[in-house]
Structure 1
């Protein structure tokens, strides 16, 4: 084979190679033109948990990094004072309930008999004091006050007044037992019962709120207080990071905004696992432009107006961490790019 033939073959091979390179380059460029690459950070919602009431923390049951379930008890308050208040309210409620029953059914015959006996005893004491006072008054009158002192006479009058008051009290008590309680008295007793019952309900509610429970499935991000601390409703005990939903916060300039559609698909790529992309979906596009936050990694758009976009990711294995930098690739329709 002469040199001219060999040279011709080499030329053909070179032309074919260049052709393949040009095709590959154009194909890659076309693919790149059909993908919008964005850079952002993982974002999640957080919950600050605090007790509804003030008290001393008795137990803290979870630590930073622990996974917790909805309804799980995370911390408790000391409830000694509340338990004492509950017992007092229960005793008052029982006494008032018995008083209501007594007013409704009236007095028993034994109670009426006892009240009559008490009235008779008080009447006998009054008769005794009356006779003693009359005797002293006669002595004063017959001796011009020389037989007894004024102090003795005053003492006898005081005893007589006390005996009269006792008779009136016993008489009123007997009449009340016979007639039964007045409507106003029954209503007043019932009102006191309802107040005590409401107070007991509040105490029991406060007892349940002495347990701090997780409202959702989450991960403990921070433990902000310690056992023995006095806490209030304004002081958070834990900060929880919600495991769902998770999203990537990215920023898009106005030129590329028309390529972003609600519900559109995207791929989320982690720097440490570039070959294991995660599927995402565009779930939020801001309608208000803003200056690009300084945390955005693309320098060319840091000084321009951009729109916030959120790409939501299903992360059942909890691979994405809050603040983690990631790359987002949004596929664009060919017709849209051709139109642009």
Structure 2
């Protein structure tokens, strides 16, 4: 009897000691959260019909690898037209910069010399020898006229007496009219030579010479700076148009911006995609972090602090670094009045994992230990 009582007493003492020990033990503080990764949503600024899908969900893709290719539609034709327009404007610019050819300038100079010589001839008027020759021709014509008049008078008298023929009389009359006309022409020629060149002709010749001289000077000076600047601006605009179309063509190929894993991809060739719409989602496996929430009364942490991280899938610790601490509290009212309410405030933190990137996965539950584990 007494032995049973003693045994029960010993058990009570042992259980009491264990209970007291467990109550005195302090479990290290931890906060729980989930592992997250950087999602990259890819799309195209131009959109269009899907021509090829070159990746599958779960694929590990390399930076620059083409994942989806869209049909170009009319972009290639637009690019060819834009390049042709650029070449045309570039050729015009080169022409303006080079100026006129030496042959064109020499031709303009010859035109100036020709018009200057003609003006000088008009200003100087007829030469004395030309006037003397015209007078001599007039005298000859006058003599021929007198002879024709004499013959006509004599033949007329004979014809009127009935001794001459009609044919001979007509021939003499024709010679008289011809002599009269020739005399008038010679007299007018002499008058024009004596009077000299008309003022209107001289003025017209001066104007023609001035115009040709200006054209010649313009050719020597080349094109204006403003024209060249305008042509340069046109070339720049044409090149910018080409670059814009080339950029749109580049957007037809959706490439991986970094080494990543294809997380979501639901496309088939022939699908139509609007511009700027996500086509697929990548996950960057090189950056993983734990999103967790720390109570206000345990906010004695700082950026850059190293903390151990554990997950249920592995019986090991992973190293993490605090890279973000929220400035604003969550899950509680903005204004709190009591210490009990203040203890309920939590602040979001981001703990970036420094190792285990090849083992851990996005979505795993994880514990961040704010105090060293025993």
Q: Which residue of 1 aligns with 2:246?
A: 204
Structure 2 unmatched ranges of 5 or more = 109-210, 333-340
- Aligned pair partner of 1:325 in 336, 361, 365: 365
User: CA separation in 2, counterparts of 1:43 and 1:94?
Assistant: 52
User: CA separation in 2, counterparts of 1:205 and 1:265?
Assistant: 44
Q: Which residue of 1 aligns with 2:313?
A: 272
How much does 1:48 deviate? 1.6
User: CA separation in 1, counterparts of 2:253 and 2:18?
Assistant: 65
Contact 1:50 1:232 in 2 (8 A): no
Q: Which residue of 2 aligns with 1:248?
A: 290
User: CA separation in 1, counterparts of 2:92 and 2:31?
Assistant: 76
For residues 56 and 23 of structure 1, do their structure 2 counterparts lie closer, same or farther at Cα, with a shift above 3 Å needed? same
How much does 1:251 deviate? 2.3
Q: Which residue of 2 aligns with 1:229?
A: 271
Q: Which residue of 2 aligns with 1:91?
A: 84
Structure 1 unmatched ranges of 5 or more = 1-6, 116-170, 293-300, 335-340
Number of residues of Structure 1 aligned to a counterpart in Structure 2: 256
Q: Which residue of 2 aligns with 1:191?
A: 233
For residues 104 and 62 of structure 1, do their structure 2 counterparts lie closer, same or farther at Cα, with a shift above 3 Å needed? same
Contact 2:50 2:69 in 1 (8 A): yes
For 2:316, what is the secondary structure of its paired residue? coil
User: CA separation in 2, counterparts of 1:219 and 1:70?
Assistant: 11
- Greater CA radius of gyration, 1 or 2? 2
Contact 2:41 2:281 in 1 (8 A): yes
Q: Which residue of 1 aligns with 2:127?
A: none
User: CA separation in 2, counterparts of 1:185 and 1:281?
Assistant: 63
Q: Which residue of 1 aligns with 2:194?
A: none
User: CA separation in 2, counterparts of 1:103 and 1:311?
Assistant: 65
For 2:49, what is the secondary structure of its paired residue? strand
User: CA separation in 2, counterparts of 1:266 and 1:212?
Assistant: 39
How much does 1:236 deviate? 0.6
- Aligned pair partner of 1:239 in 258, 281, 286: 281
TM-score, normalised relative to structure 2: 0.55
* RMSD of aligned Cα (Å): 4.2
For 2:29, what is the secondary structure of its paired residue? strand
For 1:53, what is the secondary structure of its paired residue? coil
Q: Which residue of 2 aligns with 1:306?
A: 346
Q: Which residue of 1 aligns with 2:178?
A: none
Contact 1:282 1:309 in 2 (8 A): yes
**Deviation digits for residues 247-268 of structure 1, max 9, x if unmatched?**
222223233x145454444332
Contact 1:224 1:236 in 2 (8 A): no
**Deviation digits for residues 111-153 of structure 1, max 9, x if unmatched?**
79999xxxxxxxxxxxxxxxxxxxxxxxxxxxxxxxxxxxxxx
User: CA separation in 2, counterparts of 1:87 and 1:282?
Assistant: 54
Contact 2:286 2:357 in 1 (8 A): no
How much does 1:66 deviate? 1.7
How much does 1:235 deviate? 0.5
User: CA separation in 1, counterparts of 2:321 and 2:226?
Assistant: 69
